Chain A
Amino acid sequence: MKPLYAHRLLYIFILCLWHFAARAQQISSSCNESLYKANRLYEQGHFQEAVNLLEPCVRNISPDIRFEAYRLLAICYINLNEPGKAENAAEMLLLHKPSYKEFPYVDPVELNKMLSNYTIRNLADVGIKVGCNISSVRLWQYQSATNSSSSFYPKAGFEAGLTLNYHFLPHVSVAAEALYAGLSYGQQSDDVNGWKMHYHEGLNYFSFPLLLKYDFDMQKKFSASIEAGMQWQMLSRSQSNLRFDNPATGEGLETAMNYYDSRTAQVYGLVAGIQLRKQLSSGIFGMGIRYAYGLKNIVDPEKRYDDPEFISYWRYLYSDISLNTFCISLTYQLPLKYTVNRKQARLR
């Protein structure tokens, strides 16, 4: 009985959904028609009738032509000498069609004047980011199993992910990013008991930078921003390789290690950067550079001696280090939401 009961409930749920979808479409279609009727009434000078027809319906008109309804309402209210309501409609017109001021119809002078009182600003945007990085090592404490000296060198990596910006002030925004970053570094010793040692490690992190940005020249086609903040990184993978080369024969001994358990699972650091941006179609294309300064030791010193057999055979001990990363990235951001600001006080 139970499965049958569940099936019946599912059918009723689907029927309800279908009914509501059909009803919504019907309302939208009839409201689109009322826009045409209201336009006729406006052209005949029946402004109040046009308003009466449009007002209850305006939110149900298809989103792509809703701005036309608000435009018509604004003009009707101007003619009815209700400037407060006209301003509300003008504001809604710009919210639904942020580019309207750039490509308007030939409108009455009063509406043009009203629209010129508003500035439109991007409130939030979302984008994708891809880039390459290079990580240098900041040595906290050097460790060696053979008392040999060694040098650390930077290696290239990558990062990619999503970025979200919220512009809470005209020139100031907060940016939150979710990135997957691959960082890499190397270590080299020229003489470990006569052999040349190469060690390199790749660390993959889920990286979450949170930044405060200041934008310059936002109104122009080119703009620049400076940014500073913090990032929190969560280790997802670590892979190390160790190779000893015999300079005399050219032969080598090599092995690979997974040091995931002996690396710090969560690290954090300071970040700062600059970005150049250009409006491209409906989005913003950006190119930026960023420097991240690691504040935490990426290795776990407590686990350094956990595998004595490995240390004694390969004569290798890892050192205490943090990573500083320089990154060049490309972004493309699309506006999610606009805000309309009034230059002068509202009319009532």
Chain B
Amino acid sequence: MDTHLYGIKSRYYLQSLCACLLLLCAHISSAQESCAEMLLKANTLYEQGRLNEAIELANPCILSGTTTDKWQAYRLLAMAYLANDQRKEARTVTESMMELNPLYKPSPLKDPPELIKMIHSVVVIPKFSVGLAFNTGFNYTYPVVKGVYNLLDYTKQYQAERDFLGELSLGYFLGKNISIHTGLTVSSNTFSIRFTHPWGNTVIKEKLNYLTVPAYARYMFFYGRRLRPFVEAGVSGSYLLSSSSDFTTSTDTSQQVLKGLDSRSRHNVYNYGISLGAGLSCKAGNGSVLLALYYGRNFANITKTGERYNSISLRDNYLYIDDDITINNFSIMVGYTFYMNYRVIRNTKNQ
């Protein structure tokens, strides 16, 4: 008997639950339908000049679930508030409208001139950016000798050489003018060493390939203009990916050449420094083209002092041992920064 009653009860609960679910589904679908209809009606009321009624009808739709309904409601409310001369409210809803679709370009056909003006006054800035910059042949490396080590009585002459640099950067915009950046830079730093010894001349070309993680802040001038100059400063940490040396020793009768000798074991793998830059940014598409000059100063000795005398080949064949050296860079870069998303800076005075 109890079991039978339990069965009836559970069937009753199940039926009630199904009915509730059906009602809920019907309510949700009717709510969605009604929001689209309400916006249509609100639009008609707006066109008839019945602004307060239009606002009242469109207002609940800004809480609706779909982005489309919300955006349409904000746009309609902005038009109605502007027509009703409620500028504060119009600005708030226009900002909300632009938050949903920051790249919206106002239509001279569908958007009233007042709304277009309001949209243009809303500050929309990029949020995250990804950039790609490079140069080929304009990364100059200047060696600075901190300690001289020679096997014989000769003087080494150092000369800056040019090579390439490529950077993938990620940026975050803190405001209209300030952004912070990090990323990955791959650079080839080359310099040459020449010296004359009793048997002839030796020329060494040293090439160090670093992977650098920079962290820098950029300040851009003249917000809103297509062309914007900028300055930046930051710090960097570098890891030596690979390095190689080309040796050429010339005597009166012969020439000995060794190209691409791995020199990573003779160098410290970590380096650190500071960098300064200045350039010009030009808005292009959904991002900016950049042209910049950079100066980087590194502080670590690139020579592994414990390995200085270990290479028999370099000592005996080329009469060479490494000096203590730090390197500085000067580079000219061209790049493109792509804005991944945007945010609206709300006018706090308004609220």
Contact = CB atoms under 8 A, between A and B. Distances in A.
A243 B168 CA distance: 34
B261 A255 contact: yes
Interface of A (DSSP majority class) = mixed
B262 A243 contact: yes
A253 B318 CA distance: 13
Contacts of A283: 338, 340
A35 B110 CA distance: 12
Interface string A64-80: 11001000100000000
Interface in A57-106: 64-65, 68, 72, 101-106
A36 interface: yes
Nearest to A106: B43
A256 B39 contact: no
A253 B244 CA distance: 15
Contacts, number: 90
A239 B101 contact: no
B68 interface: yes
Given A106-B43, A106-B72, A256-B244, A251 B312 contact: yes
Given A241-B261, A258-B259, A253 B312 contact: yes
Central interface residue in A251, A252, A281, by most chain B CB within 10 Å: A281
Contact of B242 (A35, A202, A251, A253): A202
B260 A258 contact: yes
A173 interface: no
A29 B331 CA distance: 44
Contact of B262 (A101, A102, A241, A281): A241
A230 interface: no
Interface residues of A, number: 37
Given A239-B260, A256-B259, A102 B109 contact: no
A94 to B, nearest CB: 14
Interface string A311-348: 00000000000000000000010000000000000000
B262 A68 contact: no
Contacts of B314: 254
A35 B72 contact: no
A121 B258 CA distance: 56
15 contacts: A65-B107, A68-B109, A103-B101, A105-B75, A105-B107, A106-B39, A109-B40, A241-B260, A252-B311, A253-B312, A254-B313, A256-B261, A280-B340, A281-B339, A281-B342
- Minimum-distance CB pairs A-B, first 7: A241-B262, A256-B261, A106-B43, A256-B260, A239-B260, A281-B340, A103-B101
Interface of B: 36, 39-40, 42-43, 67-68, 71-72, 75-76, 100-101, 104-105, 107-110, 130, 132, 168, 186, 242, 244, 258-262, 265, 286, 310-314, 338-342
